[in-house]
């Protein structure tokens, strides 16, 4: 088992991320050993409950009573109504300020349970047990919690770090292939922005080899979480450097919004967004051609190639400028100066990104326009 420690200086708070295969029962037993409340509040969804009906019985220590709330599956339920449902559940079950919420699921369950935990009685502890690759390398650590508003994704939220995060790769066995690739986007992202060794490690293998090689999977998830942990330690509230985690996200969010969240998973949009951001960096003269090509061919090998309906400049600019990464000074765009070296560029205009988009789609790009 591997452990990462995250130290947050702002609040003088620290927690651990445990990573391994079939570790959940052992880690939970240790975690709850001195827990006097003897009741925990498990939040999961219908898909996880169907796949792991014995979850509470098999991994939660015998002396602890598990109260379980099963949410409907899907991003469309990441909203205020579901938060109310969680709070109602906690009230009805007489949870108190010492209670612990266990979020067992992907990023949707983690974000919404974390947010409910941040609000209930002004904040109670929650443990993340992320079960998708995306949540294991990204949303399960770092403390961003939240829900969607009809005006935008993750528009309502709070920073609330978990009590602990337990990454058990055995859950990835049941994850659909498409979700695995979407999570891989964030895994490789951490290599591209900060860890050239991680990128190299993954670049030597294909996805099937990664899935089949438990040690490699654990090692790369560990390295990926290390990158995120160190960035979050440096800048928990995203005043500056944490923004490098948004590499590929400006263009990715544009694609998700433009296609109405119907055509692409978040990670798929991020794969194309990273390809675009690498192209942008090449065009600006920050990234050399050899590095661009290594990244580009790796992203191409993931088999994500999309065609979107024709887009006008006005629509592009409107969507890009509504993004959270836009301010009066312009867009905070994350580019590259090398593999493992992300850099934040402030004041990039939507106009200049549009010019790059025009040349990008003429290239051997992952994105085509009808």
- Cα gap 69→93, rounded to integer Å: 11
Q: Is 325 a catalytic residue?
A: no
Give yes or no for residue 226 binding ligand NAD (CB under 6 A).
Answer: no
Distance CA 193, CA 334 (A): 9
Q: Does 281 bind ligand NAD (CB under 6 A)?
A: no
Q: Determine, following the binding rule CB under 6 A, whether residue 139 of this chain makes contact with ligand NAD.
A: yes
Q: Work out the burial of residue 72: count CB atoms within 10 Å of its CB; fewer than 13 is exposed, 13-18 middle, 19 or more buried.
A: exposed
CB 265 within 8 A of CB 182: yes
Known catalytic residue at 122: yes
Cα–Cα distance, 27 to 30 (Å, whole number): 5
318 in active site = no
Stretch that binds ligand NAD, among 85-93, 128-136, 315-323, 359-367 (CB under 6 A): 128-136
Positions 215 through 254 that interact with ligand GLY (CB under 6 A): 242, 245
Give the integer Cα–Cα distance in Å for 86 and 145: 14
107 binds, among ligand GLY, ligand NAD, none (CB under 5 to 8 A by kind): ligand NAD
Compute the distance between CA of residue 54 and CA of residue 206 in angstroms, rounded to an integer. Answer: 33
Q: Using CB under 6 A, pick the residue from 67, 111, 138, 168 that binds ligand GLY.
A: 138
Q: 300 CB contacts (<8 Å, ≥6 apart)?
A: 275, 364, 366
**Nearest-10 crossing angle of helices 177-194, 214-234:** 50
Q: Is 44 in the site for ligand NAD (CB under 6 A)?
A: no
What does 26 bind: ligand NAD, ligand GLY, none (CB cut-off 5 to 8 Å by kind)? none
Give Cβ neighbours of residue 187 (< 8 Å, ≥ 6 apart).
133, 137, 202, 220, 221, 224
Shortest Å, Cβ 142 to ligand GLY: 4
Q: Report residue 261 as tokens.
A: 């969240």
Secondary structure letter of residue 50 according to DSSP:
H
Shortest distance (Å) from residue 171 CB to ligand NAD: 4
Beta pairing partners, 39 = 65
Q: How many residues bind ligand NAD (CB under 6 A)?
A: 28
**Residue 149 known to be catalytic:** no
Single out the catalytic residue among 238, 256, 298, 356.
Answer: 238
Catalytic residue among 228, 296, 298, 332: 228
Residues in 79-118 at the binding interface with ligand NAD, rule: CB under 6 A:
105-109, 111
Residues that bind ligand NAD (CB under 6 A): 45, 47-48, 51, 73, 75, 78, 105-109, 111, 131-132, 134-135, 138-139, 142, 144, 154, 171, 174-175, 179, 182, 266
Chain contacts with ligand GLY (rule: CB under 6 A): 138, 142, 144, 242, 245
Active site residues: 122, 144, 186, 228, 238, 242, 246, 249, 253, 266
């Amino acid at each position: 088992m591997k452990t990462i420690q995250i130290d947050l200086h702002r609040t003088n708070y620290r927690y651990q991320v445990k990573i391994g295969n079939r570790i959940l029962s052992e880690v939970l037993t240790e975690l709850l050993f001195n827990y006097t409340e003897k009741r925990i509040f498990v939040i999961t969804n219908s898909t996880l409950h169907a796949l792991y009906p014995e979850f509470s019985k098999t991994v939660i220590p015998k002396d602890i009573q598990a109260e379980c709330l099963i949410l409907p599956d899907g991003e469309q339920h990441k909203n205020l109504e579901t938060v109310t449902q969680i709070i109602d559940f906690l009230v009805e079950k007489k949870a108190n300020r010492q209670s612990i919420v266990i979020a067992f699921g992907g990023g949707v369950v983690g974000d919404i349970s974390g947010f409910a935990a941040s609000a209930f009685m002004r904040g109670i502890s929650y443990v993340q047990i992320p079960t998708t690759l995306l949540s294991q390398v990204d949303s399960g650590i770092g403390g961003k919690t939240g829900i969607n508003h009809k005006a935008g994704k993750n528009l309502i939220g709070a920073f609330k770090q978990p009590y602990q995060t337990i990454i058990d790769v055995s859950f990835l066995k049941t994850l659909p292939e498409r979700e695995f690739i979407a999570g891989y986007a964030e895994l490789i992202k951490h290599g591209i922005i900060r860890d050239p060794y991680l990128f190299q490690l993954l670049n030597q293998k294909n996805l099937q080899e990664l899935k089949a090689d438990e040690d490699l999977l654990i090692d790369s998830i560990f390295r990926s979480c290390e990158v995120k942990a160190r960035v979050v330690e440096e800048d928990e509230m995203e005043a500056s450097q944490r923004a490098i985690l948004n590499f590929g996200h400006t263009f990715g969010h544009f694609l998700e919004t433009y296609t109405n969240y119907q055509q692409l998973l978040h990670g798929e949009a991020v794969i194309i967004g990273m390809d675009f951001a690498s192209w942008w960096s090449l065009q600006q003269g920050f990234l050399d051609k050899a590095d661009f090509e290594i990244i580009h061919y790796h992203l191409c090998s993931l088999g994500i190639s999309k065609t979107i309906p024709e887009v006008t400049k006005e629509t592009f600019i409107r969507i890009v400028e509504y993004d959270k990464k836009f301010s009066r000074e312009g867009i905070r765009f994350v580019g590259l100066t090398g593999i493992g070296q992300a850099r934040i560029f402030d004041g990039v205009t939507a106009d200049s990104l549009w010019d790059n988009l025009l040349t990008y789609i003429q290239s051997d790009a992952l994105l085509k326009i009808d």
